[in-house]
């Protein structure tokens, strides 16, 4: 039996959008017994990634077979490791669709979610005594 290499995902558990999506994947991975690990960038696990917290908060990161990817390419790697999401990954990975997805993620979704993250961090820091 072939042992699939472990896949690691770095995400921001303090981000409601990120956490909702990754928790969904984590439940599926747990039920399916897939070799995927999810690391919250707000824990000591981030140090293993070699990314500072600001860089890590800007997008999703996936490490698979020793290759670090981020953004839509990271989602494609992650989805390829989960049978339920392989078809979605194939569709999003199609020429044309992939470029549109990358542009939407890089220029709209990721920056919007990141700005939302910064606002939450600022609010949290102003509330502390």
Task: Examine residue 81 and state whether it is found in any structural domain, yes or no.
Answer: yes
The percent helix, strand, coil of the chain (3-state, each to 5) is 60, 15, 25
Task: Examine residue 93 and state whether it is found in any structural domain, yes or no.
Answer: yes
pLDDT digits (tens, 9 = 90+) for 77-107: 999 999 999 999 999 999 999 999 999 999 9
Residues 6+ apart with CB under 8 A from 24: none
Number of domains in the chain: 1
Task: Examine residue 27 and state whether it is found in any structural domain, yes or no.
Answer: yes
DSSP bridge pairs for 64: 7, 67
| Domain span holding position 59 | 7-127
- What pTM value is reported for the model? 0.90
| 112 vs 93: CA distance, rounded Å | 23
Task: Examine residue 1 and state whether it is found in any structural domain, yes or no.
Answer: no
- pLDDT (0 to 100) of residue 128: 59
pLDDT digits (tens, 9 = 90+) for 13-26: 999 999 999 999 99
pLDDT digits (tens, 9 = 90+) for 29-79: 999 999 999 999 999 999 999 999 999 999 999 999 999 999 999 999 999
Task: Examine residue 2 and state whether it is found in any structural domain, yes or no.
Answer: no
- pLDDT (0 to 100) of residue 108: 97
């Amino acid at each position: 039996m072939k042992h699939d290499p472990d896949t690691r995902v770095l995400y921001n558990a303090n981000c409601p959008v990120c956490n909702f999506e990754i928790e969904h994947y984590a439940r599926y991975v747990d039920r399916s017994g897939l070799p995927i690990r999810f690391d919250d960038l707000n824990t000591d696990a981030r140090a293993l990634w070699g990314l500072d917290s600001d860089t890590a908060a800007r997008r999703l990161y996936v490490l698979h077979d020793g290759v670090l990817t981020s953004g839509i390419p990271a989602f494609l790697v992650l989805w390829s490791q989960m049978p339920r999401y392989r078809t979605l990954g194939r569709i999003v990975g199609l020429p044309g669709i992939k470029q549109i997805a990358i542009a939407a993620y890089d220029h709209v979704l990721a920056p919007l979610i990141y700005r939302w993250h910064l606002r939450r961090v600022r609010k949290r820091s102003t509330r502390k005594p």
